[in-house]
Structures are given as structure tokens and as C-alpha cells.
Structure 1
């Protein structure tokens, strides 16, 4: 009788939290309510466990890297270094059909490799390149969809903030995750460029005879002009891969480097610019970390209830590895389309990891496969964070942008399925 009452109470609590979630209540409050309700109902878990969990989870030094990476991106915006990155990207791949669209995708890859944030990348590139794409004859919603799709590259390419969160949560080496994200990230980049080039050629978007002139000397010139931004990438990734810095140390050195170079070159002239950029970083960390604590608490509670084992057994009962993989992909697509990234990582990964291990995936490879699925969620309704960001910036209807993002979505799912089915393709994992 007690067990039945507990089950009914937890079911009622879950239904209430789902109603609050779909009613627009912030995810942290929904998660926190469920966790506290669970602690109240289950005597084995006292409420004091929340404070103990918060301390043990957040004492990891690696989390320091998150606000520092965000600060790097904000400083680049304040110093107008992003303009130089755009010109370098245009010189590298702007000669292809759909030159400005490809420039937005290439710029997203470079910018995300500096900031590690897809949201910041989408916002920055959208403000800079959507007006030129509109002027060059691109359909406005297609241009917005291209920028939103390019913004997801930063989720997979190092130094992705989500790779840091994943590594800390599950004890996977963050440098190993960074290395393993290179090949899939580049594959996604090339896939996005291929889709845009094809569609631009078919629809006569941005066609300009001068756009097809490949000029190596221009690449050299724009690379020198973008030396601060490109130098930041060298410090961040080179220092981590060689083993000189941890991710947190590399981010701190990158912040110092950008400040030093920007002040020396006259790109940052007021203390107000630095203070404003720092405030954004503090705001973001204040949003992410409470969600991490609440999500990890729910993860422990679900493990106590045996939910993770039940899901794993249900998946493995399908028998065929291909059916198991297909079911996992459907689950990841579903959760990625309705959950924000951190809750998705905290809740979905433990449910699917046992099945992933049974399929023969190592922890690093599985992490990258999951992060790709999470990245796809950024252009998948109803969540589609990148779609919302670009829709807000351009004032274009969300559904129009979503429709024009479908070709990119199809390509992303194809790349994801390929790396899931043939993990050996990721030679660096």
C-alpha cells in the first residue's frame, strides 16, 4: 500500500511538473520542484542531499571554463574582431556559389571555435550577415535558416561548452572530447556548405561573378587582419591539445590575450566594454549551474527508482542492434527537440548509456554522438533555440525559418546517423 501511494504521489508530481513545463515555467523551477518533491516523499533521500549534491557537483574546477569561454566571445564582439573573422571566412569559401551564405557558415565555425557557444555564434553572425544576404537576393527566411543552421557547428567543434558540461558530469576527459569533436564538426561544416552551395546555385541566390574568384593572397591578407581572433583559436586548442593548459587555463589565457591585443591595437578603449562583456558571462553561468544541480538531482532520483535500468532493458529487448540504434535516435531527437541542452544531457544520457555500451561504443564516441543529436535539436521545433534567436533578430516568422531549415536538418541527421552506424569514421575519437 505504501509503495502504491508513493508511486501515485510521484506520478501526480510528474504530471504537475510537465504541465508547468509546457505552460512556460522556467526549467530550473520545474526540475527543482520535482527534486524537492521527491526528497519530501522518499525518506531515503533527505532534503539536505540537495545542498550536498550542489557542493560536490560544482566544486569541479573545469566549470570555470564556461564563463571564460563566453567572456572570450563577448570581448571579440566588443572589440569588433568578429568583422575580421567574417572577411577571412569570405576569402576562404566565399568564392563558391552562395558566397555570403557560405561565409556565414564558415564564420560560424571559426567563431564557435573561439566562444564554444552556438547561441552567441548565431546571434553575432545573424546581426552581421543577414542584412547582406537579404541585399544580395537571398530569400530572407532561407538566409535566416542558413545562419541558424551554421550556429550549431559550435556545439560539436571544440571548445564546445556542452562538451565541457558533459565531461564534468560523467567523468569523461574534456580534452579527449575536444579532439573527438573535430572530425564530426568538420563533416557538419562541409555538409552545411554543400547544402547551401547547391540551393544557392539552383535558386540563383547571391550570384556574383566576382564571388567565384579564388584569391589565395586575399586569404593571407585577411588572416593577418584577423590575427587576434585566429590567434585565440591557436591558444585555446593548441594549448589544450599539446597539454600545456587545461580547458579552464586555456580560456583564462585566451581572455588575457584578447584583452592585451585589443587594448594594444585600440580595439578596446573603455573599461565599460570589458565590464559589460563580463556581466554577460556571469549571467549565463548563473543560468546554467542551477539547472545542472537540479538535473543531476533528478538523475540520481531516477536511478533510485530504477527508471534508467528499465529503459535500457526495453531498448536491448529489441534484439537487433539496428533497431536499438533506431530507437535511441528517435529518443534523442524527441528529447533534443523539447529540452534545453543541459537538462537533456543530465536526463537522457544516463537512460541511453547502458544501451550505447552494449552497442560497443566507448564513452568518448558515445558522448560525441549524443552531442550531435543535441545540436540537431537547436534547429528542430518546438525548441529550436537557434531558430528562435535568428527569428527574434530578423523579425521573421519562426515557422518560415523552420521550413527553410529542413534541408539542413536532413543533412545533419544523415551525418549523425553515419557516425552512429560507423563510429570508426571518427578517426580521432
Structure 2
């Protein structure tokens, strides 16, 4: 059978299974079995070896650890402390407390690794506070939904671990590569908030919080636990003292200490955090297994190799491939979550990316940026669901409020494409050391 017909049938089968509500992991496994049947390959033995090789990875140990760390911190008073520590410093900026959404999400992202957890944790404290002070709902919702996606980009990031394992790229280097793009995105978000507030001068309430410097510094002291945790996790990686997995263990210990010192660590919260971490980790590992099996099936059919040959033969320039992939990922983001997108497409896309001469480390950050957009695109934008549950507004109202921040992510993606050193300079410096 022609390869193009096999590809069409496999894609059609996958879309049909997903449309009928089949879980993503089993759907990938089913399509993989179909691909093995077309290739006349021994599906049973390949499934067994794939299941072992995709899960028996030291790097993947960091995944459940970072997820557990985020679950522990989710149940502490960390978000309250961050808001109280940041609020005095942003009151004089155009947009005032709206910046607490951006900065709070950026800080929590550095200890969470999950965009949904970041949006939910910061939103629970910031949205009621902003509403009570008379801030417009649309910009409050939009800044939270957009900034919540920073959980994917600012290390430690769960999706970076997944991509690193799938693409065989150093997770530690990916973490370091995400720092400057994360700060760039935060700057774009805060810049938009300032511009919006200057254009809509009457919409933002006047500054009411006036503190002397000594009082501001006392309030900032409440940020100490999270700053120490960030330094412990990211500093240990950048300093070359720990691998990503070892840094994850440091993060879990630090999160447990923060929870204990804040009085949030009880038997009930510990069990809740463990169960939450297990549920999320097993879901991701099931998808990872299905994607790895589908990757093997694709290899047996010869589709990735043929696609790479076609890219090489067409001599498609890297920029054209990036534009096409950006549109492709945004469309996928309307129907799938970020981790599923990465695992579902890696096996097919990476040969083409390599054939076009694109750096896989840079491409990892690119794909994370585009997947961030997927978090706020209806109908399956996870951050939209999180913010909807916090506000009670319909999904399209939340999506409309998030649209400017979606466009800012497009700008950030263009910037890292035209100036790749934004991504590569820090990893290069780390290697030079």
C-alpha cells in the first residue's frame, strides 16, 4: 500500500478515536497497532520493549518529582505570600496590581512546572483581590490566563522533560534555554498591561497602597521561601551541581519544608498531594507509552524517513518549515493538550526538523512557546478551563479576554525565531564553563 494512503488512514483513525472520546493514550496505542499491522511487524514484542524503554529512563524520574513538588506547593499559602510581597512594588506602575498576575505566575512557574497549577494557584488569590478593588474583569482574566502559561516555559517545566526524553535532548540545557524566553514573555505581558492602562486611564483604580521603604522590604520578606526554592532548583542545575532529576529531588524536599514551616503540611494534604501527583504522572506516562509505540509503528512503515527525504529534496527553508509548524501546532492546540501535542508529533516532525538543519534545543523552546498558545485556544485550552472555573464566565468570554496575550506569544515566537541567541546563549555559556 502507498505510504500516503497509510498515513491518511492512520491519521483518520486517530482523529476518529479522539472525536469519539477515547483517551489519548489508548488511542495512540490503537493506531500504533494498526500501523504495525500495515507494516506486518511483531506488535506484541515491540510493545513490550517499547513500554520498558519509554519508561525506564533516569531523566523521566524528574517528571513525577516536579509534579509532586507543584502539588505540595499548590496546598500551601505560597500564593498569598507572593501577592502580599509583590503588591507594594507594582502599585506605582501603570496597570498597578495587574502586574501581580504576571509576576506571581512567573515566580510560581519557577517552582511548579505546570501551567494549569500556576493559573489556578495565582488566580485563587489575585482575581478576588482585583475584583474587590474595581479592576476591569477582562484584563484581569486575560492577564491571568496568558501569564499562567508561563508554567510551561519557565523552568522547571514538565513539558520540557517530556520533549527532552522524546527528542533525546538534555533536559538541563532545555531548562536553561527557557530562562531568557520566559523573561521575554513576562516583559511583553507587563508591557502590554502598562500600555493598556495608559490607553484606558480611567479603567484602572487609583493607587491606594502607600508604604514606606522599610514596610515594603518587610512585605518582600514573605517571598523568601519561594526565592530560596527557585535558587535551590534552578541554581543547582545552572551551577552544574545537580542534574534535572537531582534538582527535582531538591525541589520536593524544599516544598515539603515550605509546607511544614507554613503549617500546611498535614497527613491529609500530604496524601492529597501524593494522589494528585500519581494521577497526573500516570496519565502522562500512558500517553508517553502510546506515543512511543506509535513512533515505532511509524518507523516500521517508513513514514518519517520518507518525510525527511521529501523535506531534503524540496530544500524547504527553515523559516518556511517553522511558519508551517506554527500554524499546524496552533490548529492542534484547539483540540489537544500540550503534552499530547508534543508526544503525538515528535516522531513525525523531528526527522523533518533535522533535515532542515534546525537545532533541536532551539526547537524544543519553540515548540513549548507554540504549545503555550494552545493553552488559551478554545475549545480545549486547559488554562481557559481553569480560569473559567475560577470566574464562572463562559469559555469564549475567557478566550476573548486572553486574545491579546495569545498575540503576544506569537510576537515572542517570532522574536526567538529571528534572534535564536535568546534561546541558545545561556546553554552555550553553560557548556563553555
TM above 0.5, yes or no, is yes
| Mapped contact 1:133–1:206 kept (Cα < 8 A) | no
Q: Does 1:139 align with 2:136?
A: yes
Corresponding position of 1:293 = 289
Structure 1 match to 2:204? 206
Shift of 1:245: 1.9
Structure 1 match to 2:92: 95
SS in 2 for 1:137: coil
**TM-score, structure 2 normalization:** 0.90
- CA separation in 2, counterparts of 1:338 and 1:186? 28
How far, CA to CA, are the matches of 2:342 and 2:25 in structure 1?
A: 14
Deviations 1:4-46 (A, max 9, x none): 6x98787556434312312333212221221233334432232
C-alpha distance in structure 2 between counterparts of 1:419 and 1:132, whole Å: 35
CA RMSD, aligned part only?
Answer: 2.5
Deviations 1:309-348 (A, max 9, x none): 4444555627454433322322232233332222211232
* Distance (Å, rounded) in 2 between the aligned partners of 1:83 and 1:129: 9
Q: Distance in 1 between matches of 2:20 and 2:92?
A: 47
Contact 1:141-1:396 within 8 A present in 2 as well: no
Residue in structure 2 matched with residue 26 of structure 1 by the alignment: 23
Displacement of 1:385 after TM fit?
A: 1.2
Give the conservation status (yes or no) of the 8 Å contact 1:39–1:47.
no
Q: State the Cα distance separating 1:364 from its structure 2 match.
A: 1.1
* 1:320-335 mapped onto 2 (5 Å cutoff): 320-335=317-332
Q: Which moved more, 1:172-181 or 1:197-206?
A: 197-206
Question: Is the Cα–Cα contact under 8 Å of residues 166 and 346 in structure 2 kept in the other structure?
Answer: no
Contact 1:97 1:201 in 2 (8 A): yes
Q: What SS does structure 2 have at the residue aligned with 1:414?
A: helix
Q: Answer yes or no: is 1:419 the counterpart of 2:416.
A: yes
1:270–1:320: structure 2 CA closer, same or farther, 3 Å change rule?
closer
Q: What are the Cα deviations for residues 170-228 of structure 1, in whole angstroms up to 9, with x where unaligned?
A: 211111111110110100011111112222333334322246x6965455323322222
CA contact 2:74–2:117 (8 Å) conserved in 1:
no
Q: Tell me if 1:188 matches 2:191.
A: no
Residue 234 (str. 1) matches residue 257 (str. 2):
no
Structure 2 CA distance for aligned equivalents of residues 248 and 261 of structure 1: 20
> Can you give the 5+ residue segments of structure 2 that lack an aligned partner in the other structure?
428-433
> What corresponds to 2:346 in structure 1?
349
Distance 2:62 2:7 in 1: 36
Aligned to 2:268: 272
Distance 1:266 1:84, change over 3 A: closer
Q: Distance in 2 between matches of 1:289 and 1:98?
A: 41
Partner Cα distance (1:178, 1:94) in 2: 32
- Tell me what 2:253 maps to: 256
Please name the residue that 2:431 is paired with.
Answer: none
Alpha-carbon deviation of 1:145? Answer: 2.1
- Structure 1 position 276, deviation (Å): 1.3
Cα deviation for residue 121 of structure 1 reads 0.4
Deviates more, 1:385-394 or 1:283-292: 385-394
Larger RCO (CA under 8 A, 6+ residues apart): 2
Structure 2 partner of 1:164: 161
Distance 1:35 1:405, change over 3 A: same
CA contact (8 A) 1:315 1:324 kept: no
Aligned residue in 1 for 2:124: 127
Residues 232 and 258, structure 1, Cα contact 8 Å, conserved in 2? yes
Q: Distance in 1 between matches of 2:87 and 2:395?
A: 27
Q: Distance in 1 between matches of 2:359 and 2:212?
A: 43
Q: Does 1:306 align with 2:293?
A: no
Question: Are the counterparts in 1 of residues 14 and 31 from structure 2 also a CA contact under 8 Å?
Answer: yes
Q: CA deviation at 1:269?
A: 5.3
Check the 8 A contact 2:75/2:269 in 1, yes or no: yes
Q: Rate the CA distance shift 1:350–1:95 in 2: closer, same or farther, 3 A.
A: farther
With 239-248 and 254-263 compared, the bigger mean Cα shift is at: 254-263
Partner of 1:176: 173
C-alpha spacing 1:309/1:142, structure 2 compared with 1 (3 Å): farther
Give the superposition deviation at 1:358: 4.9
SS state at 2:156 partner: coil
Alignment match, 1:117: 114
Shift, 1:302, TM fit: 2.2
Contact kept in structure 2, 1:50 and 1:297, CA below 8 Å: yes
**Unpaired stretches in structure 1, ≥5 consecutive residues:** none
Aligned length: 424
